[in-house]
């Protein structure tokens, strides 16, 4: 696992991306240049006489012709890389689990991605010259070869799995074993070490070639193996609690595993002062630009809502912001005007019968969220942060879920880490899991993580993921 600005991610994912797109760039550059050979001035005349040329002259002439094509081929190679990276990302082929599954099931996703690349190249080349069409064909053929080569090398890129030795047995250890199966990185539990078993922890870890040691003892018993863990740490083994393991592997912090001491002494839980200023400046700039650009779309959506179900157009609702402050959130109305006629707040459900026909479309495309840019501009919200919840649910969930109040340490956001990693929640268990991702965001907050969340959110919006 790699870490960048406190954010954990599989290093092999970055390695796969860099290897694949480097191959696409090189292959596409050469492929486009070679495809344009017949169009190089004087090439056809020389080709007719190639039988009388020495092998060295043949090679030199080909090299010169390819070099002459490189400037024209370069833009097509860069365009191919951009299309390839976006297409492979769009169909989840940089999710390591999907990459491995696709490789074993006939590269269906890779074929889909290459189809998107071919479509983009075809659209660009359709009105181009004969030479540009040749470049497009050469780049596409080369890209197919590059992706095939990279995907065949996946086992070598991923490397060996992370080997974990679990200290302790019982319910807590079982939860660790169950949860590591969700990790995107490859993980292998290589054994258990039990206190008093007769073998030193360092020797046991070396015997099974462990990379990490996870202490899964109950808190009351963990102090008994503290010295053994210190010796293992000094011997070069990374020692983790279950909460730390979840944070590194799963990018969430389990509320049932984390202790008050771990939270009290942990790094993070705040932006650096200069990052806070930049974050707020970006919020204001993006909210202003977004509202101006969205005005025509909002006008069309408002007309559609009025024609479909009448007034009101906007939906106002109290939400809980940073520090527990109540603010008014605005959205385009997507439900019937009397959706909560009974007076008791309700979570939205999948295919909610209260949603109007126009509302389903607005929700799917996330257009109903646009008025929240006004809350961002006012400072009640940010672009990135935990989603704001209603006071009724906040009070209830604080009683049901440990550490739920930690969500109120930051401005709520239009999007967030929990929205990317977990679908729309409609139960206490869903709220608990989303809190775990929110806690990861709060602990590891940075502009880098914010930008990553915004980038991933674009794909979710385009592909209508997680909407109801």
Residue 89 lies in a domain: yes
Same domain, 10 and 133: yes
**pLDDT tens digit sequence for 72-100:** 778 888 999 999 999 888 888 888 877 77
CATH of the domain at 206: 3.40.50.720
Same domain, 165 and 153: no
- Residues contacting residue 103 through CB under 8 Å, at least 6 positions apart: 151, 154
Residue owning tokens 């979840």? 246
**pLDDT tens digit sequence for 40-72:** 555 555 554 554 454 455 555 556 666 766 777
Residue 35 lies in a domain: yes
Task: Please report which confidence band the pLDDT of residue 135 belongs to, taking 50, 70 and 90 as the band edges.
Answer: confident
Residue 297 lies in a domain: yes
10 Å CB burial of residue 332 (0-12, 13-18, 19+) is: buried
Same domain, 230 and 282: no
Averaged pLDDT of the chain: 83
- Which of residues 89, 124, 157 is at a domain's end? 157
**pLDDT tens digit sequence for 259-307:** 888 888 777 777 778 888 999 999 999 999 999 999 999 999 999 999 8
Same domain, 299 and 420: yes
Q: Are 263 and 343 in contact (CB under 8 A)?
A: no
Task: Please report which confidence band the pLDDT of residue 345 belongs to, taking 50, 70 and 90 as the band edges.
Answer: low
DSSP H or E run through 384? strand 382-384
Task: Please report which confidence band the pLDDT of residue 164 belongs to, taking 50, 70 and 90 as the band edges.
Answer: very high
Question: Residue 61 has what pLDDT?
Answer: 56
Q: How many other CB atoms sit within 10 Å of the CB of residue 391?
A: 14
**pLDDT tens digit sequence for 442-453:** 988 888 899 999
| Beta strand 238-240 pairing with 326-332 | unpaired
The conformation of residue 405, written as its DSSP 8-state character, comes to: G
Number of domains in the chain: 3
Question: Residue 124 has what pLDDT?
Answer: 85
Residue 405 lies in a domain: yes
Residue 379 lies in a domain: yes
Residue owning tokens 């006629």? 341
Q: Whole domain around residue 302: which residue ranges?
A: 273-462
């Amino acid at each position: 696992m790699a870490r960048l600005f406190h954010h954990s991610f599989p290093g092999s994912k970055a390695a796969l991306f860099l290897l694949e797109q480097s191959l696409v760039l090189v292959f596409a550059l050469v492929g486009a240049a070679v495809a344009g050979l017949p169009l190089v001035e004087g090439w056809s005349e020389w080709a007719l006489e190639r039988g009388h040329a020495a092998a060295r002259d043949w090679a030199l002439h080909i090299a010169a012709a390819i070099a002459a094509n490189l400037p024209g081929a370069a833009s097509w190679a860069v365009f191919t890389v951009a299309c390839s990276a976006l297409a492979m990302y769009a169909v989840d082929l940089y999710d390591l689990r999907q990459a491995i599954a696709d490789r074993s099931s006939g590269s269906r996703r890779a074929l889909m991605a290459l189809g998107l690349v071919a479509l983009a190249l075809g659209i660009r080349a359709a009105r181009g010259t004969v030479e540009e069409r040749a470049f497009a064909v050469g780049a596409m053929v080369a890209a197919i070869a590059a992706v095939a080569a990279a995907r065949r090398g996946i086992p070598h890129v991923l490397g060996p799995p992370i080997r974990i030795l679990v200290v302790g047995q019982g319910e807590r250890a079982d939860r660790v074993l169950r949860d590591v199966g969700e990790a995107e990185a490859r993980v292998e539990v290589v054994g258990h070490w039990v206190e008093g078993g007769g073998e030193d922890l360092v020797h046991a870890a070396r015997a099974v070639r462990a990379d990490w040691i996870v202490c899964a003892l109950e808190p009351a018993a963990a102090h008994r193996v503290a010295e053994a863990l210190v010796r293992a740490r000094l011997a070069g083994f990374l020692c983790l609690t279950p909460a730390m393991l979840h944070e590194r592997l799963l990018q969430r912090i389990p509320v049932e595993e984390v202790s008050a001491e771990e939270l009290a002494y942990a790094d993070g839980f705040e932006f650096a002062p200069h990052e806070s200023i930049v974050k707020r400046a970006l919020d204001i700039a993006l909210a202003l630009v977004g509202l101006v650009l969205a005005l025509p779309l909002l006008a069309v959506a408002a007309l559609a809502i009025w024609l479909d179900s009448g007034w009101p157009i906007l939906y106002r609702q109290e939400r809980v912001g940073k520090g527990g402050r109540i603010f008014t959130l605005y959205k385009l109305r997507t439900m019937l005007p009397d959706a909560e006629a009974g007076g008791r707040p309700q979570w939205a459900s999948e295919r909610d019968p209260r949603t109007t026909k126009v509302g389903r479309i607005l929700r799917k495309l996330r257009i109903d969220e646009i008025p929240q840019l006004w809350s961002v501009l006012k400072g009640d919200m940010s672009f990135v942060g935990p989603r704001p919840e209603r006071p009724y649910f906040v009070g209830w969930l604080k009683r049901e879920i440990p550490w739920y109040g930690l969500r109120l340490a930051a401005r709520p956001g239009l999007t967030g880490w929990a929205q990317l990693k977990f679908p729309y929640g409609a139960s206490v268990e869903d709220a608990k899991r989303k809190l775990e991702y929110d806690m990861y965001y709060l602990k590891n907050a940075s502009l880098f993580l914010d930008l990553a969340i915004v980038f991933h959110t674009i794909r979710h919006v385009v592909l209508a993921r997680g909407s109801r």
